[in-house]
Amino acid sequence: MKTSIELKQILQQIDRKSYPAYKSLRGQYRFEGYTLSIDHVQGDPFAAPSKVSMLLKGSQTGFPQELYDARHKRIALQDYLIRLMEREIREFSFKAGGSGKSGLISISHCGQEVLERTACGINPAGGDMIVGIEIGFPANGRTINAGELEKILFDFLPKCVKKTLYYQVLNHRQITDVINLAVDQQVIREKLPEMGLAAFVSNGSVLPRESGVSERPMKGSVLFQSPESQEVTITVPHAGDMKGMGIRKGISLIIGGGYHGKSTLLRALELGVYNHRKGDGREFVITDDSAVKIRAEDGRSIKKADISLFIQNLPNKKDTASFETQDASGSTSQAANVVESIEAGTSLLLIDEDTSATNFMIRDELMQKVVHPNDEPITPFIERVRELYEQLGVSSIIVAGSSGTYFHVADTIIQMDHYVPRDVTEFAKKEAQNYPMVKVEGRPFHQPSFARVPLQNRELKKDQRVKMKAMGRDLIQINKKTIDLHSVEQLIDSEQTNALGYLLLYAQGELCGNNRTIQEIVGEILQRVERNGLSAVTGSRAYHSTLAVPRRQEIFACFNRYRELSFK
């Protein structure tokens, strides 16, 4: 390892040379209080910025172990430090001049959700910390401007590190509040199954967002207040007794007029699989963390999925117990999404009729009389929703605004009235008696087969050169082939998408082709990530500071939407 003085000397030697001379900076350098690692150097000033990381010893940063001795605490502390670092480096970004991205300094931008990110990692064994940032190495045209980089590495960056990464200089009260919130959120998550709940929404929550392009809470919005009949109390260590609406396992229906808050509540429940930062308004909207939002997804590919629980006897004689298509319809895509989510381990489905295929969700009495059930290959979801819960333990929360058919099968019916929830179960059930449900003569219920085995794509073997790029939150490009994730609505950050690309490449290079099912492969990936972090799946590549850990359910969703992946 070299010293910071040696780094200065190298900078002086390469000043005004051609840009590729920056490559000689790769390596580690001792600075006061931390080790600077230049992990990747960009090819030119207009390319993606260079990747730099700082390694700090736990004995020097001084954070008490009780702040990071559990995973949920550690993630909360890391998130807090990333936010602090982002605020500090924003003051210095582009203050060093030059062409293209010269002078850029950036770190992960954290949204309202608290995610585990590679931008900051704390080793639970001793508190050693690694923080990764991106820097645009300065140049005039394509000529190195070493003096400007020296400013960044020897002036700007040390100031940011000293202000944000040492416990003694930080606001201890704020840190305690961040950790206490994470502890309370974790306790509620752990208590949900004990209390027979699929989700909890605390009284006083702010569910509406500022706008369609902002996830910040709306000012002056109606505060959530549980109906008395659905109110539960959960005692947590720091906030004490918390009252709110407990949505019980089983089948829950959310109804109401347009613009009264149905979809707003459902969206809060979708994102309740993640913890939220203090001040978000949804800090104590806690949902079963395996929950999956289900929708129709016309045009997606489906590979060897067993959708026979919902679709059988197709006119073209396709095998629905091992169904394949490159261009799914609304109903077949939604059937596949349900089955694949169960395969991914969900115990809660979240559905909005606005984004569902009508013929998948219901078949009314008149349609059943005109089209005989023997001529209809689809068994609608309404015929299976009770069986999914009773046979497989999979609950459903469904938003309905135009059809009351689900009144017959729902355990709980909540009406949103000007963003205020009302329990109308008894009234709705009584009214439903005037409209008897005509049940389709059912095909017997059976558990779908989850024996799919992903095959290895020759182009993605670990000895092959593969180009992978995340394109925002919605797309991954692998060797010019794209994976479209726009309908995976609980994928919330481009850094999760970036990680999914690496997870797919890792699975293809290390795990596929050994007769393992997709469930076994994803399980193995998650075990390795839990043991060694996301660095376990980036292999020999440089340290990546722009990854966030996705859920099991989004890993399955990514694999299932990769059109070049085959199954047997």
- Cα dihedral: 178, 225, 112, 215 (round 10): -160
If we measure between CA atoms, which residue out of 35, 39, 12, 6 comes closest to residue 134?
39
483 to each of 283, 296, 466, 468, how far by Cα in Å?
Answer: 32, 17, 15, 11
Confidence of residue 302 (pLDDT cuts 50, 70, 90): very high
- Does any domain span residue 286? no
- Does any domain span residue 451? no
Asked if pLDDT for residue 63 goes beyond 90, the answer is: yes
So what's the pLDDT on residue 363? Answer: 82
- Does any domain span residue 193? no
So what's the pLDDT on residue 537? Answer: 82
- Does any domain span residue 354? yes
pTM of the entire predicted model:
0.95
Judgement on whether residues 26 and 110 belong to the same structural domain of the protein: yes
Inter-residue contact 528 to 537 (CB < 8 Å) = yes
| Segments forming the whole domain that contains residue 15 | 2-170
Q: What is the mean pLDDT of residues 8-34?
A: 97
So what's the pLDDT on residue 539? Answer: 63
Any idea what DSSP says for residue 377?
Answer: -
Asked if pLDDT for residue 524 goes beyond 90, the answer is: yes
Q: In this predicted model, what pLDDT tens digit does every residue of 157-203 receive, in sequence order?
A: 999 999 999 999 999 999 999 999 999 999 999 999 999 999 999 99
Judgement on whether residues 157 and 300 belong to the same structural domain of the protein: no
Domain boundary residue, one of 391, 417, 432: 432
Inter-residue contact 207 to 285 (CB < 8 Å) = yes
Q: In this predicted model, what pLDDT tens digit does every residue of 375-411 receive, in sequence order?
A: 688 999 999 999 999 999 999 999 998 889 999 999 9
Q: What is the mean pLDDT of residues 433-437?
A: 86
Judgement on whether residues 57 and 127 belong to the same structural domain of the protein: yes
Distance CA 131, CA 545 (A): 8
- Does any domain span residue 200? no
Residue 423, helix vs strand vs coil: strand
Judgement on whether residues 150 and 62 belong to the same structural domain of the protein: yes
Per the prediction, the chain carries an average pLDDT of 94
Confidence of residue 70 (pLDDT cuts 50, 70, 90): very high
Number of domains into which the chain is organized: 3
- Does any domain span residue 530? yes
Judgement on whether residues 89 and 163 belong to the same structural domain of the protein: yes
